[in-house]
Structure 1
Amino acid sequence: MGTFLLGFLFFFGLIILISGIFTVKQQSAAIVERFGKFLSVRNSGLQIKIPLIDRIAGRINLKIQQLDVIVETKTKDDVFVLLKISVQFQVIRDRVYDAFYKLENPQNQITSYVFDVVRAEVPKMKLDDVFERKDDIAIAVKGELNDAMVEYGYDIIKTLVTDIDPDVKVKEAMNRINASEREKVAAEYEAEADRIKIVAKARAEAESKRLQGQGIADQRREIARGLEESVDVLNNVGINSQEASALIVVTQHYDTLQSIGGETNTNLILLPNSPQAGSDMLNNMIASFVASNQIGEKMKEQNKAKGITNKKRDNNQDHEN
């Protein structure tokens, strides 16, 4: 009986001794109370407390934590939006007592401040400004939280506006506007491309016409030079200029008839095509040149006579004055 009692007391004492030893994990702290009163803060590692007298009141996480808060509010242009605010916070190591005893639920406290700041800032902005100035909203939330939470032993590391979600109809309208803008830009680029093509084509055609005209001019110049040389050659063998011109016209007439006859699919008919046609054309040309020269000389004489008459009339008027 005595051995049993001794063994029981030894076992009970061992349990009491073991209950006085505890460990604290890395990046955490334990709050130890004695008879319900704060005693100390224990950091990571193996710790000892007095059994049955001291107790662990709680543990606090010292890591950086994140709280996501979704706030519904209205913008200045009366659009309801959902904003997701991510708050990263951490317990200050030398303010563990305040973090444990002063604040019952830090997440609820942070959420309340986030709601208050967001609903004060966003109604001052239009919807487009909310997207463009989301960093300003995050800075305002962080500043308000830092001022409020440092009293409770919490440090606000960073705040982020991670999502802005307008009403479904508003998003559809924005998408339509963006699509219209993109179509407008695409149409402008296509119109510019068409304009460039038209300008390039016009320049190419103008250059083609210029080169074509230059080619025709060169061709006619060479033809004239060839005719001149032909007339000179015929003059050297005793044929006068009129006879040489008639011979060249007739020769070209028959060359043309020969080239037309060589084409099998041509529908061209050259009229007249009699042997006398070349000579008739030459005579007609000469007669036209002579008649034109006579008309020109007569017009010159008329203009000269008219000028003399006008001059005499002007002199008479000068004398009368």
Structure 2
Amino acid sequence: MIETILLIVLGLFVLMGTFFTVKQQTAVSIERFGKFQSIRFSGLQLKIPLIDRVAARISLKIQQLDVVVETKTLDDVFVKLKVSVQYVVLKEKTYDAIYRLEYPHDQITSYVFDVVRAEVPKMKLDDVFVKKDDIAIAVKRELQDAMLEYGFDIIKTLVTDIDPDTQVKSAMNRINASEREKIAAQFEGDAARILIVEKAKAEAESKRLQGQGIADQRREIARGLEESVEVLNKVGINSQEASALIVVTQHYDTLQSIGEHVNSNLILLPNSPQAGSDMLNNMVASFTASNQIGEAMKKQKEAQEKDKK
């Protein structure tokens, strides 16, 4: 009975040591007495119990390794770059990936450090942000050539973070804030200047229209006076008498208009008919003297021109 149980247990042990499974996108290395025997891929596999053993397992999926590198830029600013390396083990080179490279992560990290510390010191801090894709391409190019020999294919390299020193970031933020305030002040100044210019244009247009209105008003008044003088001439009143009559009439019309407003503070000086007549006589005398002076100056100029000839 005991022997039967022992045989069953031994059989189960041998059966369990014979069959094994490999997961999808995984490869295992089989060794026989410590020597490489074969590479097995996904599915149910067989091996010789107590002789063969699963020495290593390696994933064939795309993997990512994040490497943080601290270095100095051309303008002496210390900055930390986070480089993400996406890689995969080539199925046909699984042996090389398992046996030729013991610590692939350390190897990739060393190459990333070497490339970043060779490229970034050539750039200023602003250029590091602008040319981060160039840094990633340089890292991939270096890694691709180095790691392909060991069975690793570099899918993509990305510079996912650029972190300058804290004081540098504060200074950059202050510079950006000052620059934005400067631009805002420029826009505000332009807006204020535009408002001043437009207001001046509006005032100039208003003055022009006001002057045009006054000119039109005076033109109509002159035309009305001319028509009034013509009407009075037709009934035997000469121009001087007609002008005196018009002035006196307007004088009384003005007094009447002032009297209609009880609370008016307007004072009309002079306010007698004789003063109106004197004003008209003075105007006529001024016009006559002006014409005489003009005629005399014209004759003098003609005489000078004759003497020159």
Q: Which runs of 4+ in 1 moved over 6 A?
A: none
Tell me which residue corresponds to 2:294: 296
Tell me which residue corresponds to 1:188: 186
Higher mean C-alpha deviation, range 45-54 or range 115-124: 45-54
Check 1:116–1:255 CA distance in 2 against 1; reply closer, same or farther (3 A cut): same
Check 1:266–1:181 CA distance in 2 against 1; reply closer, same or farther (3 A cut): farther
Tell me which residue corresponds to 2:32: 34
Counterpart mapping for 1:96-245 below 5 A: 96-245=94-243
Gaps of 5+ in 1: 315-321
Distance 2:259 2:186 in 1: 56
Aligned length: 309
Aligned counterpart in structure 2 of residue 84 of structure 1, from 82, 85, 91? 82
Using the TM superposition, give the Cα deviation of residue 170 of structure 1 relative to its aligned residue in structure 2, in angstroms: 1.3
SS in 2 for 1:276: helix
Cα shift readout 1:40-59 (whole Å, capped 9, x = no counterpart): 11111111111111111111
Using the TM superposition, give the Cα deviation of residue 264 of structure 1 relative to its aligned residue in structure 2, in angstroms: 4.6
Q: Which amino acid is 1:68 matched to?
A: D
Tell me which residue corresponds to 2:6: 8
Distance 1:72 1:223 in 2: 91
Q: Which amino acid is 2:201 matched to?
A: R
Q: Which amino acid is 1:32 matched to?
A: I
Tell me which residue corresponds to 2:278: 280
Using the TM superposition, give the Cα deviation of residue 214 of structure 1 relative to its aligned residue in structure 2, in angstroms: 1.6
SS in 1 for 2:61: coil
Check 1:254–1:41 CA distance in 2 against 1; reply closer, same or farther (3 A cut): same
Q: Which amino acid is 2:265 matched to?
A: N
SS in 2 for 1:239: coil
Distance 2:122 2:303 in 1: 94
Tell me which residue corresponds to 1:247: 245
Distance 2:237 2:281 in 1: 17
Counterpart mapping for 1:257-272 below 5 A: 257-272=255-270
Distance 2:223 2:5 in 1: 143
Higher mean C-alpha deviation, range 208-217 or range 85-94: 208-217
Using the TM superposition, give the Cα deviation of residue 306 of structure 1 relative to its aligned residue in structure 2, in angstroms: 4.2
Distance 2:260 2:35 in 1: 127
Using the TM superposition, give the Cα deviation of residue 307 of structure 1 relative to its aligned residue in structure 2, in angstroms: 4.2
Check 1:264–1:83 CA distance in 2 against 1; reply closer, same or farther (3 A cut): farther
Q: Which amino acid is 1:257 matched to?
A: L
Higher mean C-alpha deviation, range 38-47 or range 107-116: 38-47
Tell me which residue corresponds to 2:254: 256
SS in 2 for 1:254: helix
TM-score normalised by structure 2 residue count: 0.95
Distance 1:307 1:94 in 2: 118
Gaps of 5+ in 2: none
Distance 2:264 2:128 in 1: 78
Check 1:22–1:264 CA distance in 2 against 1; reply closer, same or farther (3 A cut): farther
Distance 2:107 2:265 in 1: 101
Q: What do you get for the CA RMSD once the two structures are aligned?
A: 1.6
Check 1:263–1:86 CA distance in 2 against 1; reply closer, same or farther (3 A cut): farther
Distance 1:240 1:265 in 2: 40
Using the TM superposition, give the Cα deviation of residue 247 of structure 1 relative to its aligned residue in structure 2, in angstroms: 1.0
Q: Which amino acid is 1:63 matched to?
A: K
